[in-house]
Amino acid sequence: TFMAFEDKFGIEISDEDAEKIVTVKDALDYIDTHSKK
């Protein structure tokens, strides 16, 4: 599922960061912080 996020939002999620993403809010916060603006 993280690959879909990477493709959709143009970000790369490291394995280390992926382990920290547990909830939907975690995912949204990560995308907001790391997405290209």
Reduced to 3 states (helix: H, G, I; strand: E, B; else coil), residue 22 is coil
- What domain range is 12 assigned to? 2-34
Between CA 32 and CA 6 the distance in angstroms is: 12
Between CA 1 and CA 7 the distance in angstroms is: 10
The predicted model scores a pTM of 0.78
Overall domain count for the chain: 1
Between CA 31 and CA 20 the distance in angstroms is: 13
Q: Would the pLDDT of 37 be above 60?
A: no
**What value does the mean pLDDT of the chain take?**
91
Residue 36: other Cβ atoms inside 10 A: 6
pLDDT band at 4 (very low <50, low <70, confident <90, very high): very high
Reduced to 3 states (helix: H, G, I; strand: E, B; else coil), residue 14 is coil
